[in-house]
Structure 1
Amino acid sequence: MEALILQVVVMTCFGAVLYTYLIYPLVLVCIAGVLRIARLALHGSDPRNPHVLRDSTLPAVAVIIAAHNEEAHITARIENLLALDYPAQRLHVYVGSDGSSDRTGELLAAFDDPRVRGIVFPHNRGKASVLNDLVARTDQEILIFSDANTHFGSAAARSLVAHFADPRVGCVSGELRLARTGGDNQDSLYWRVEQFLKFFEARIGGLLGANGAIYAIRRELWQPLRADTICDDFCVGMNVAAAGWRLVYEPSAWAGEDTPETITDEYRRRVRIGIGNFQALVRHPEYLWRTSIGTAFAYLSHKVLRWIAPHLLVIGLVGSLLLGLESRPWLYFGLLQLAGYLVAAALWRASRAGHSIPRILRIPVFLFALNWAFLVASVGYASGRYSGSWRRTRR
């Protein structure tokens, strides 16, 4: 009886991992297809297309950027924003330098355009605190959030704002486009898969949070963030969803960013984001019951199970080896898992040492690194050894 229970636990763990990575995307596409057919049958057309607004009806927007040691990007970033295809008198830029030790504050002060308001905060307090302070200084109807090291497509602001003509929409997330590199980091491929899921999750009314590189909310829906919040974009978007408003995904509103060449360049960022993921999971259980059915379904299937996947795999490995004490097939299955993890770890170690790995192995090694980062992040969150202060990475 005990062996049977352990077998069920092991297979459930592996089934959950298989579901979140392979089965869920297929289920998601099917549900989205059925809902689209239903909408066409009811309305005769897809009612999701945003309105086209004339310049005279466009709302005033505030683009908000928190920056730390961004002297390499900040000038080009502000110039990119000022060149957007949006009425100049309705576009305002708020940039906060959070205790930067480089020339970020000096470069901000060099802008004499009345649309740009640069605030230099002398002490490094973390991104969430800067965002809170910048939002408090705005009075525009729509807030657009972005990062200092990205650039917007010229129509980005218009594409985001058009959706707010629908009074049910509270948040609009744009699309982050990662430039490919010739290195072994597969983050750009992984991100394209994430964009695929985001598109169909939006179709079922289950968009999860927003992308920090480019998203907008109604100012009235802003909720101040706790100072140590790490995944601010996710929490801002999910707070809007939990308040009963619609979240929309608009791929034509895009922001560009470079992808680091190596897996190592991504690792620290992944660990930090992972800590933020577990932080949000523990602090905001309401995201599972105060949001729509579509959002709760996507959150559990896409996010929660993905975050705990390495823990499920560890349980599956230990369970397989325990069953292997009395069953040779289970022993072989457990040893096969262990061998696979050891090979992936060795290849990842080689990649971190600067060695190139075969192209065919880059995706499994990337997935190993991703899940290892989630595992390390869970320990980091449980230990409490983290803060909301900045951590510089190449992305």
Structure 2
Amino acid sequence: MEFLLIGTVGVCVLAVLHTYVLYPWRTTLQARQSSLPRQPELPITDWPTVRILMAVHNEERVLGQKLATLAAQDYRGPLHLMVADDQSTDRTPQLLRTFEFTGPRRQFTHTRNTRRSGKPATINRLAGAAGAEGIFVLTDASVLLRPDTITELVRPLVADPGLGVVDSRVVHTGMTVDGIGRSEDRYINQEVHLKQAESHDTGYFIGPFGGCWAIRAAAYTAVPDNFLVDDFFLCMSAYRAGWRGYSSDRAVVLEGVGQRLPHEFRRKVRIGSGNWQNLLRFQDLWWPPTQNALAYAFFCHKVLRWLTPLFVCLAVLCLLLLWQAGGNYWAGLLLKTAGGIALSTIVLDLVLGRLGLHVGLLRNLHYFMAMNAALLVGFVRYLTGIKTNVWQPSYRPPNDSAQ
């Protein structure tokens, strides 16, 4: 029994190290040696029709600037902006009514849901109205585009008929020394680089940045009711249908980084619940992980990461049994040391933060523990049942610029 408990702890530790350290290192190394092209360079003369699909709810703080960046797009093909207001109660409807999206081959339509529907259902309705031709760009109100963002999202899709989805590269703005902004930015940057490495190495990236990305209309699958993470569902559905993915380093977007831990915690709880919906829905794409490159990437990048809170809980339980039931001195020492480090990290970060002192290592560790705790809460929420996917906009500080 003692051998089994020690082996279980070892497996848990190895799983966490693999998803956060070994897999990113291996994938990045292989991408550098990959023969796959990093960016199509073919000249394009016939640009396809693009429909920008956006659901909004109480976005008056950011919507004006967002619409301005859409109006400034340099895309040379037909461009149709389709916005649906999900029962906003602020100035969002007024901003949409007064917005002008003028220019050759440009159209703008905005509608209002008759009842609160949530983002996935709203985007499903917009996609159904848009039809099955051309390319969809799905974007959030809080994410600002550079003038060439849509052009760079579409370019790989035109150059490679086998691509079904293209992701953008997010650049965070509004970071300050206080709050968790720098920790969030560091994590997202690592994710962006890993997804780029995945697409260069295997022809897939595991889940798009939901704030702005492109999908062929022919690859779009309606998101089921009550699904929380719609962008991941759409991407994996496209892969299941035979399409591939590309993470572009040229399609750049800007977003104010989240600074407040309580707000990001609630957002991660929601994402954590949605992760389990997708994990079970797409089990055939990741199990067994040895079946192909997509399954291995899905399993190592997402499945092991989503399971990390459970691995930690299982390892703690095994150490507790070894210590209390088996009298293992080293298990007790390890458990007390790890617990002391975790508690000290949280307390020190909070106390020093109140004093205006911000230590990067402490903040990063505190952020890591808080986000995994949010994933654990999200798992519990999933087990108790998800009754609605209606959302509230996440807090983001104002963006400085869209240039």
TM-score (norm 2): 0.89
Alignment match, 1:121: 113
CA distance in 2, matches of 1:393, 1:294: 34
List per-residue Cα deviations over 1:266-289 (Å, max 9, x = no partner): 111111111111121122213325
CA distance in 1, matches of 2:98, 2:58: 16
Q: Which deviates the most, 346-355 or 186-195?
A: 346-355
Q: Superposition pairs for residues 1-395 of structure 1, below 5 Å?
A: 2-34=1-33, 36=34, 39=35, 47-54=37-44, 56-87=45-76, 90-113=78-101, 115-139=107-131, 140-164=133-157, 165-179=159-173, 180-185=175-180, 186-205=183-202, 206-288=204-286, 293-325=292-324, 326-347=327-348, 357-395=358-396
What amino acid does structure 2 have at the position aligned with 1:232? D
What amino acid does structure 2 have at the position aligned with 1:276? G
SS, match of residue 111 in structure 2: strand
- Could you say if the C-alpha distance between residues 5 and 188 of structure 1 is closer, same or farther in structure 2, counting changes exceeding 3 Å? same
CA distance in 2, matches of 1:128, 1:47: 33
Give, in angstroms, the shift of residue 356 of structure 1.
Answer: 5.7
What amino acid does structure 2 have at the position aligned with 1:394? Y
Q: Which deviates the most, 123-132 or 337-346?
A: 337-346
Give, in angstroms, the shift of residue 191 of structure 1.
Answer: 0.7
**Does the CA contact (< 8 Å) of 1:182 and 1:261 recur in 2?**
no
List per-residue Cα deviations over 1:43-77 (Å, max 9, x = no partner): xxx544314444x4111100111111111222221
Give, in angstroms, the shift of residue 106 of structure 1.
Answer: 2.2
Could you tell me which runs of 5 or more consecutive residues in structure 1 were left unpaired when the two chains were aligned: 40-45
List per-residue Cα deviations over 1:77-120 (Å, max 9, x = no partner): 12211211112x61110111111111212221223546211111
Give, in angstroms, the shift of residue 228 of structure 1.
Answer: 1.3
- Could you say if the C-alpha distance between residues 222 and 372 of structure 1 is closer, same or farther in structure 2, counting changes exceeding 3 Å? same
Q: Which deviates the most, 104-113 or 122-131?
A: 104-113
CA distance in 2, matches of 1:347, 1:380: 30
**Does the CA contact (< 8 Å) of 1:264 and 1:352 recur in 2?**
no
SS, match of residue 216 in structure 1: strand
CA distance in 2, matches of 1:48, 1:248: 9
Give, in angstroms, the shift of residue 385 of structure 1.
Answer: 4.6
What amino acid does structure 2 have at the position aligned with 1:93? L
CA distance in 2, matches of 1:236, 1:102: 30
**Does the CA contact (< 8 Å) of 2:165 and 2:238 recur in 1?**
yes
List per-residue Cα deviations over 1:207-237 (Å, max 9, x = no partner): 1121111211111111111121111111111
**Does the CA contact (< 8 Å) of 1:32 and 1:204 recur in 2?**
yes
CA distance in 2, matches of 1:156, 1:269: 26
Give, in angstroms, the shift of residue 341 of structure 1.
Answer: 2.9
Give, in angstroms, the shift of residue 355 of structure 1.
Answer: 7.4
- Could you say if the C-alpha distance between residues 358 and 188 of structure 1 is closer, same or farther in structure 2, counting changes exceeding 3 Å? same
- Report how many residues are paired: 383
CA RMSD of aligned residues (A): 2.2
SS, match of residue 67 in structure 2: helix
What amino acid does structure 1 have at the position aligned with 2:292? I
SS, match of residue 393 in structure 1: coil
TM-score (norm 1): 0.91
**Does the CA contact (< 8 Å) of 2:39 and 2:248 recur in 1?**
no
Give, in angstroms, the shift of residue 350 of structure 1.
Answer: 5.7
Q: Percent identity?
A: 29
Give, in angstroms, the shift of residue 240 of structure 1.
Answer: 0.8
**Does the CA contact (< 8 Å) of 1:32 and 1:200 recur in 2?**
yes
Alignment match, 1:42: none
**Does the CA contact (< 8 Å) of 1:347 and 1:365 recur in 2?**
no
Could you tell me which runs of 5 or more consecutive residues in structure 2 were left unpaired when the two chains were aligned: 397-403
Q: Which deviates the most, 73-82 or 342-351?
A: 342-351
CA distance in 2, matches of 1:269, 1:103: 24
- Could you say if the C-alpha distance between residues 323 and 222 of structure 1 is closer, same or farther in structure 2, counting changes exceeding 3 Å? same
- Could you say if the C-alpha distance between residues 73 and 294 of structure 1 is closer, same or farther in structure 2, counting changes exceeding 3 Å? same
SS, match of residue 226 in structure 1: coil
SS, match of residue 57 in structure 1: coil
What amino acid does structure 1 have at the position aligned with 2:190? V
CA distance in 1, matches of 2:374, 2:302: 15
- Could you say if the C-alpha distance between residues 47 and 283 of structure 1 is closer, same or farther in structure 2, counting changes exceeding 3 Å? closer
- Could you say if the C-alpha distance between residues 278 and 352 of structure 1 is closer, same or farther in structure 2, counting changes exceeding 3 Å? farther
